Chain A
């Protein structure tokens, strides 16, 4: 089933005018912000397909900026997001590209905060739903519908076994999991959509595991920056 429940039909509550161009864009911006873990100093957004063609009329740019500021889809500040970004000291640049993309409504988001940086490619697939295809050049497939753990770790035997056993001992079920690596023995990234919310104790235990470099929580319902956890 493409649409899973009643609230994928009625909802989300959102700032108009387009569920794909506005609500979906805000969610993609928010996922990128949570991937970075804090408010970025600088953001570079490249728009593809229909996003590139019609983003200004739909306020897609404002919704993306709103998402980067951690605004939910119906935050009344979205129409004035440019001003709030300036107040937050966030510098934003937009680019368009005519290159083919995985979906007509695709955006590539690159963020910086001090020494920290991250990138993400995602698409708005209709009715406010989104799909993230890549994070820091690793392939992923996450929807943002569920609390999601994203782990950067070394590509070593046994890392995933200790990660999943730590999660299972916390009593949280993993609904979907994807692993990708840069090279054999290089850096790897694992994205896990969970049925429950990752708790601080679980995150602490995961962080202490060998070869785990970093953990981020993507959670559109709660929206907590990982630094605070």
Chain B
């Protein structure tokens, strides 16, 4: 790839009069030696999966396997139909769709990791609600996904995108930054405005801990996807209005690395802190506790001539158990 930082995305695209999406497609073709039509086709298929997830969230039962969550996307959609929303219909619809996709994820339905499964609602929420509002073609939105991908590529390689590594700022925060920047490009903003949108969005998610109740991708993940979609729209609006990120966006990504690395492990997807360890969070976890699988026995069996039970990383005297 010809870029590792956001400022390089801006410099190259401005100098060559390209959108970030065009640059990302060219770089992907070069890097993977795959024809452009195939690269675009792959992304186009992903966009159809996102649309299907929104539809499923609105029409079908999204109760999760744990029974803790489901149906909130539908509730939001119904609420919008009934009348005046507080945050405006555009925001509310993005939120409803983001909740839908996140609920489909929690119920083991099909989604696209953007960049992860825990943050899979934000980009579809923003993209699909905006497509309906502005009457955009699928092709336009597929370009938007390449722009979002370029932003995510920079964040992932300079900081992180998983909650286990960097807290929820890395997961939901990255998705918000990607959606905000892509939204600016979809609305015709400049690459420079895209970069500012990413910085504006990321600054507002720094310090967000990953504290899933019972370790499940449900509470608070689903509502954070809903609210994240609205933050992305707001950051895009600020950037399109000319608001700049006073701290350059690449420096914000570096801070995300610093903050995430400093977070104690109990606040990084372990379910050992935050909302997961509130009295109610603990009760939910206890209620869901199931009989575990058998503990691993000492490896004394001799099954099959080609099998070796011992290995280089896990000891043979395997008598410990968490069961």
Task: Enumerate chain A interface residues (CB-CB to B < 8 A).
Answer: 1-20, 22-23, 46-48, 50, 52-54, 56-59, 61-62, 74, 76, 78-79, 93-99, 101-102, 104, 106, 108, 110, 112, 115-119, 121, 126-128, 133-134, 136-137, 139, 195
For B165, list chain A residues within 8 Å (CB). 126
Q: Is B1 in contact with A1, judged by CB distance below 8 angstroms? A: yes
B313 touches A121 (CB 8 A): yes
A126 touches B307 (CB 8 A): no
Q: A98-B320, A110-B309, A137-B310 are in contact. Are A47 and B164 (CB under 8 A)?
A: no
Within the complex, the shortest CB–CB distance from A177 to chain B, in Å, comes to 18
> Among the listed A10, A115, A133, which residue makes an inter-chain contact with B43, where contact means beta carbons less than 8 Å apart?
A10
Tell me whether A137 and B164 are in contact (CB under 8 A): no
Closest to B112 in A: A13
Does B22 belong to the interface (CB within 8 Å)? no
Residue pairs across A and B with Cβ atoms less than 8 A apart, 15 shown, are: A3-B161, A5-B32, A9-B148, A9-B152, A10-B112, A10-B145, A12-B113, A14-B112, A17-B117, A19-B113, A47-B293, A54-B215, A98-B320, A115-B305, A136-B306
Q: Which 8 A-B pairs have the closest CB atoms?
A: A117-B304, A16-B105, A137-B308, A9-B152, A94-B293, A6-B149, A98-B320, A117-B307
Q: Write out the residue numbers on chain B whose beta carbons fall within 8 Å of the beta carbon of A23.
A: 113, 117
B280 within 8 A of A: no
Looking across the interface, which residue of chain A has its beta carbon closest to that of B317? A99
What chain B residues lie within 8 Å of A134 (beta carbons)? 311-313
A122 vs B39: C-alpha distance when bound (angstroms):
29
- Interface residues of A, dominant DSSP: mixed
Task: Give the distance in Å from the alpha carbon of A29 to the alpha carbon of B295 in the complex.
Answer: 20
Q: How far is the CA of A22 from the CA of B106 in the complex (A)?
A: 11
B216 on the A face (CB < 8 A): yes
- Contact (Cβ within 8 A) A110 B303: yes
Nearest residue, chain A, Cβ from B321: A98
B156 partner residues in chain A, CB cutoff 8 A: 2-3, 8-9, 127
Q: Which residue in chain A gives the minimum CB-CB distance to B111?
A: A16
Pairwise interchain contact B153-A126, C-beta atoms closer than 8 A:
no
Check if B294 sits within 8 Å of A22, measured CB to CB. Answer: no
Closest to B221 in A: A17
B88 at the interface (CB under 8 A from A): no
- Assess the A17–B113 pair: CB atoms within 8 A: no
The answer to whether the Cβ of B241 comes within 8 Å of any Cβ in the partner chain is: no
- A52 engages B322 (CB within 8 Å): yes
| Interface assignment of B122: CB less than 8 Å from any CB of chain A | no
Given the known inter-chain contacts A53-B322, A121-B313, please indicate yes or no for A10 contacting B65, CB distance below 8 A. no
Main secondary structure of the interface of B (DSSP, over half): loop
Q: Mark B118-161, 1 if CB is under 8 A from A, else 0.
A: 10100100000000000000000000011011101100110001
Q: Which residue of the partner chain B has the closest CB to A112?
A: B304
Chain B residue at minimum C-beta to C-beta distance from A57: B216
How many chain B residues touch A (Cβ–Cβ < 8 Å)?
81
Tell me if B187 counts as interface (CB < 8 A to partner A): no
Tell me the bound Cα distance from A94 to B290 in angstroms: 14
- Nearest chain A CB to B88's CB is how many angstroms away? 28
B31 within 8 A of A: yes
B243 at interface by CB-CB < 8 Å? no
Whether A10 contacts B46 in the complex (CB less than 8 A), given A15-B109, A17-B117, comes out as yes
Contacts of A47 in B (CB 8 A): 293
Contacting pair B217 A117 (CB below 8 A): no
Q: Which residues of chain B have C-beta atoms less than 8 A from A137's C-beta? A: 308, 310-312
Q: How far is the CA of A116 from the CA of B311 in the complex (A)?
A: 19
Q: Are B116 and A19 in contact (CB under 8 A)?
A: yes
User: Please, which residues of chain B bring their CB within 8 A of the CB of A17?
Assistant: 64, 105-108, 117-118, 216-218
- Is residue B8 contacting chain A, with contact meaning CB distance below 8 A? no
Question: Which of chain B's residues 264-323 have a Cβ closer than 8 Å to chain A?
Answer: 270-271, 288, 290, 292-297, 303-315, 318, 320-323
CA distance A54 to B303 in the complex (A): 28
Residue of A nearest to B148 (CB): A10
A104 touches B164 (CB 8 A): yes
Q: Decide yes or no: A97 and B296 within 8 Å by CB, A10-B148, A104-B164 being known contacts.
A: yes
Chain A residues within an 8 Å CB radius of B161: 3, 9, 126-127
What residue in chain A is nearest B150 (Cβ atoms)? Answer: A6
B217 touches A16 (CB 8 A): yes
Of the candidates B110, B162, B322, the one whose C-beta lies within 8 Å of that of A76 is B110
